[in-house]
Amino acid sequence: MMSANEQKGSRLRRAREMAGYKSAEAACERFCWAPHTYRHHERGSRPYDDKWAAEYGKAYKTPPEWLLFARNAPRWAWVPVVSHVGAGATVIPENAPFDFVEPPPGASEDAFALIVRGNSMLPAMSDGDLLICEWRDDPLALINRLAVIDLEDGRRFVKRLIRGSEPKSFTLVGMDASLISNVHITRAAEIVWHKFS
């Protein structure tokens, strides 16, 4: 996970790219910024302050509070709502954005949003809740946690993930104690933010 300074740097890089500057050098040349200082700001190795955020925001037509704190995000930085996720309901996701939501602080540019369908996860979450998620390389990192899971058969669920009894399998557990046992998953996502409906 990125540090707070790295997240600020990542937002600055995205703002530059969305403003049409393909490289840090091109932006520095256009706005007469010291390339060494700017590169440190984009990498997150040296944090920028309010003064720099205001200058970068003006140049890139981006709210300085988004650059600093991930608040008041520009529309291009919003998180796509890509599908529903089953919590008792069977959901086959389409993975095509049909809406966008403002990102919570700390969400990466790879974040995506899902809407819960079903009530097997009550009281932790209910039908209509919004989840902001990020895919993880290793599902084992999400063992014993609530996660979004894609199965080999195409279904997508939000469940607690535990190890299955068969090799390389997992069992999905609902808050209502329902089980989907010994399934093989194609990928799993961490829930980084949850908005109740």
Domain that holds residue 33: 4-72
Domain end call among 35, 51, 72: 72
CATH number at residue 9: 1.10.260.40
Say which residue, 1 or 42, is predicted with more confidence: 42
115-132: average pLDDT: 93
- In 3D space, the residue among 136, 88, 138, 87 whose CA is nearest the CA of residue 114 turns out to be 87
CATH number at residue 87: 2.10.109.10
Residue 85's pLDDT is what?
94
**Do 86 and 158 sit in the same domain of this protein?**
yes
- In 3D space, the residue among 15, 19, 26 whose CA is nearest the CA of residue 64 turns out to be 15
Residue 107's pLDDT is what?
83
Residue 88's pLDDT is what?
85
Residue 90's pLDDT is what?
84
**Do 94 and 52 sit in the same domain of this protein?**
no
Average pLDDT, the chain: 93
d(CA 49, CA 41): 10
78-107: average pLDDT: 89
Indicate yes or no: pTM above 0.85: no
Interval 125-183: pLDDT, tens: 999 999 999 999 999 999 999 999 999 999 999 999 999 999 999 999 998 888 999 99
Domain end call among 31, 56, 72: 72
Percent of the chain beyond pLDDT 90?
81
d(CA 152, CA 186): 6
Domain end call among 72, 99, 128: 72
Three-class secondary structure of residue 74 per DSSP = coil
Three-class secondary structure of residue 182 per DSSP = strand
d(CA 157, CA 33): 48
Interval 24-40: pLDDT, tens: 999 999 999 999 999 99
91-99: average pLDDT: 87
Where residue 1 falls among pLDDT bands split at 50, 70, 90?
low
Say which residue, 14 or 90, is predicted with more confidence: 14
C-alpha neighbours within 13 Å on the C-beta side of residue 141: 12
**Do 49 and 87 sit in the same domain of this protein?**
no
